[in-house]
Structure 1
Amino acid sequence: MQNTLVDKTFRDSNGNIVLAQMPNLPLIVWIVTSLLSLIFTTGKINTVLEVVANGSLFTWAWLELFQGVNYFRRALGLAVLIGLIASKIISYNGLTN
């Protein structure tokens, strides 16, 4: 197998094309806590759910960025990490203005 940029971008170490994988624990926690925060929309429980959701999504993005199986998964982790940080900056600026 050739080691081209396309191969490095989309193939894992076994030569399989990997775009999506089964969710790992941080992603499952993010999904569950995000759904629960839609049910519990106010109060301390909502605050805890949002903190756990953001923390688990950050963890997932960090793991993908540094341990992703290919360049695509690492770029996906970087994009989610940047998006998460940007959304927090924007929401914080909206609260302070």
Structure 2
Amino acid sequence: MQQQEGRRPMTQPSASPVLRARDWLFRDRRTGAITVAQWPNLPLWLFFGLMLAAWLARGAEPAATWLSLAADVALGWWAIDELVRGVNPWRQLLGLATLIGLATLIALRSGG
């Protein structure tokens, strides 16, 4: 979760490369806090709810298929939002990795 450190400046240039890399990757550019994970926002809550509904509806086609598709859209929405508006490079990379994984999954499902 988000570590509350208040508004703390980036590590001094004389600090070790590991600390500078940590700051670059994980420090929120607005608040200065280290941010690795955050509470889910609307697209992630939708994704979790829709995946649960699709799992409960398994075997009841076409409802399960539509719920799964809607879950994919919600996850894609979250990933694009993180890629574009992520608070640090870690969150942006997480969005990019999720988009790549989702695209791969969709391609595998469609047989291509």
After superposition, the CA RMSD in angstroms is 1.4
In the alignment of these two chains, the number of paired residues is 94
Normalising by structure 2, report the TM-score: 0.78
Moved over 2 A (4+): 1-6
- What are the ranges of 5 or more consecutive residues in structure 2 without an aligned counterpart? 1-8, 12-19
Contact 2:25/2:89 (<8 A) preserved: yes
Structure with greater contact order relative to length (CA < 8 Å, sep ≥ 6): 1
C-alpha separation in 2, matches of 1:66 and 1:29: 19
Normalising by structure 1, report the TM-score: 0.89
Aligned counterpart for 2:36 among listed residues 10, 15, 19: 19
- What are the ranges of 5 or more consecutive residues in structure 1 without an aligned counterpart? none
How much identity, in percent, do the aligned residues show? 37
Q: Tell me the secondary structure at the aligned position of residue 62 of structure 2.
A: helix
C-alpha separation in 2, matches of 1:23 and 1:89: 26
Work out whether 1:2 is the aligned partner of 2:2. Answer: no
Q: CA deviation at 1:8?
A: 2.4
Q: Tell me the secondary structure at the aligned position of residue 74 of structure 1.
A: helix
Match of 1:31 in 2: 48
